[in-house]
Chain A
Amino acid sequence: MSEPAGRATRQHGEITPLDVAAIRKDFPILSQRVGDHRLVYLDSASSSQKPTVVLDAMSDYYETTHANVHRGVYGIAAEATERFEAAREKVARFIGAPSSRGVVFTKNVTEAINLVAYSWGRANLGQGDAILLTELEHHANLVPWLMLAEERGVELRYLPLAEDHTLDLSRLDELIDGVRLVSVSAMSNVLGTLTPVRRLADAAHAAGALCLVDGAQYAPHLRTDVVELGCDFFGFTGHKALGPTGIGVLWARPELLEAMPAFLGGGEMIRDVRLDGWTPNEVPWKFEAGTPPIAEVIGLGAAVDYLEGLGMEAVREHEVSLTGYALRTLTERFGDDLTIHGPPEPAQRGGVLSFAFQDVHPHDVSQVLDQQGVCVRAGHHCAKPLMRRLGVGATARASLYVYNDTDDVDALAEALGDASDFFAF
């Protein structure tokens, strides 16, 4: 087998553009045919595909090393623990965390945010406290806070969306006054909007608040450094970053984790248990109750290695240029028949293109595209308040990643042409 593209050696300091043809070969699913068509996968914002190195890391673990972690003294148990903890180190490096003690493995980013809401939120917030969110959040960064608001009478405030689909910060000073937490997505999964995380984190700290960043759409696509971002909590989800499902990450400053009460109770998260009490384990294990998803953690470690092999700057450059190509191609071809939501400049956004096409409902668009092997998501993208703000019930959404190229965008344009013919009124 050829070397995976993710291992291409890079010259120090310079960005080697992605070799998409080589990258595609690393993703077995992309060689699949859909009827007479190749698979054109444009739904990575929902979940990305997995390279062979990730699949191999997981199956090799099961075939050679599987045993529970942090328990056995025998050889393979020690090896399993070593691979598991090595993945934690890789993840810490991937997001610029100063220490892996701040890296807690969760099921996904949804659980990461819930962990903060249950542990930190319930220990620290109550009547009279406020949380600042934004209008563009995913339900994962809304519902845990709505639940807290219902239960504890915490007030929720929202930074509004501006006309150009960036965040409107004109009332930031007033909205942030007196809040205890600012919780914001670094990139919208609907609009692609990149939010000013650093500015919001600084404003949060100036107001005496903490800052949580939902990095689900950010960490897989842009070089991430939690220290530069200035946040206190950062979450992301493995399956959108070339890793397996069932594994997510909560990073928090270790001091915060230490001060927070445990979340789920059980094995692994304790140091001692008596019949009349218990003592929690050290961080980060204090927040990892029960047998963890070991293979998934190891798979995520392989995924971040692969991304670092490509170089996150190169990934971002590729996506900015492909997003620009997509915006130009689709607008030139369809003009007013196509409305693409989100900021107009590729540099202000990620490769997520939500659109309205003529009067054809997104479900129907997606169904017709499927006939050409083109996979796009249709729906509300778990962001119903944002959909209401945009005045739509649903959108179709094409999203780009490392294995997509201009021919995928061309295939999308062709298939939209078909949809137009089919539904011509």
Chain B
Amino acid sequence: MPGLEDLYREIILDHYRNPRNRGELDAPPAHRVEGFNPLCGDEIVVFLDVDDGGRIDEIRIAGQGCSISQSSASMMSSAVKGKTIGEARAVTRAFKSMMSIHESELDGEATDGELPASPSDDVKLGDLEALRGVVKFPVRIKCATLGWNTLTQGLDEVATGA
């Protein structure tokens, strides 16, 4: 049986205790998107401020959830803040591929033509690497990906002006 230290790495607990970019933005002008984990009731709200050049100027995370969903969302916010939508999508792909599940399985719908990132994709996960241990606890993968799926939905909505 994998041990707790595989799951709760120090950096994860740090993000849980001191979440980055926690709070809300006025929406509008910011874009607000909610995500739910129907299994456990975790809720995440992502606020996005995307400038005209398609860069994520500001991001805030609200909602409630377990240490894994909260820390993953916190790390996500640091990883994509200041990035373009394209860059944010690339990090998302890399992260999900680390969680070793295809996006189609995660979302229930495949994003056309998008394949999971291969390890050769030149994306640095940095702190996010700490979440790799979650894979050994399959029921917690949904916790780790909740924020990312919500972000993806938000970026899609921003892109289509929804």
Contacts and interface: CB of A to CB of B under 8 A. Distances in A.
Partners in one complex: yes
Contacts of B119: none
Nearest to B39: A379
Nearest to B70: A361
Contacts of B66: 361-364
Interface stretch (B40-48, B53-61, B97-105): B40-48
A379 B1 contact: no
Nearest to A370: B1
Given A363-B66, A363-B143, A367-B137, A394 B42 contact: yes
Contacts of A423: 13, 67
B40 A367 contact: no
B162 interface: no
Contacts of A34: 1
- A interface, size bucket: 10 to 19
B40 A394 contact: yes
Interface in A329-381: 361-364, 367-368, 371, 378-380
Interface in B128-158: 137, 140, 143
Contacts of A379: 39-41
Interface in A24-44: 34-35
A35 B1 contact: yes
B64 to A, nearest CB: 5
Contact of A364 (B17, B41, B64, B67): B67
B7 interface: yes
B151 to A, nearest CB: 20
A278 interface: no
Given A361-B67, A422-B4, A422-B8, A367 B140 contact: yes
B80 interface: no
Contact of A425 (B1, B17, B68, B70): B17
A361 B143 CA distance: 12
B41 A367 contact: no
Given A363-B68, A364-B66, A364-B67, A393 B43 contact: yes
A34 B8 CA distance: 20
Contact of B64 (A368, A378, A393): A393
A384 interface: yes
A36 to B, nearest CB: 10
B6 to A, nearest CB: 11
B136 to A, nearest CB: 12
A380 B64 CA distance: 13
Contacts of A363: 40, 42, 65-68, 140, 143
Contacts of B64: 393
Contacts of B42: 363, 393-394
B65 A367 contact: no
Nearest to B4: A371
A387 B64 CA distance: 13
A266 B40 CA distance: 37
Contacts of A362: 40, 66
Contacts of B140: 363, 367
Contacts of A371: 1, 3-4
Interface of A: 34-35, 361-364, 367-368, 371, 378-380, 384, 387, 393-394, 422-423, 425
The 6 closest A-B pairs by CB, nearest first: A363-B66, A380-B41, A361-B66, A379-B40, A394-B41, A393-B64
23 contacts: A35-B1, A361-B66, A361-B67, A361-B70, A362-B40, A362-B66, A363-B42, A363-B65, A364-B8, A367-B7, A367-B137, A371-B1, A371-B3, A378-B40, A379-B40, A380-B40, A393-B42, A393-B43, A394-B42, A422-B4, A422-B8, A423-B67, A425-B17
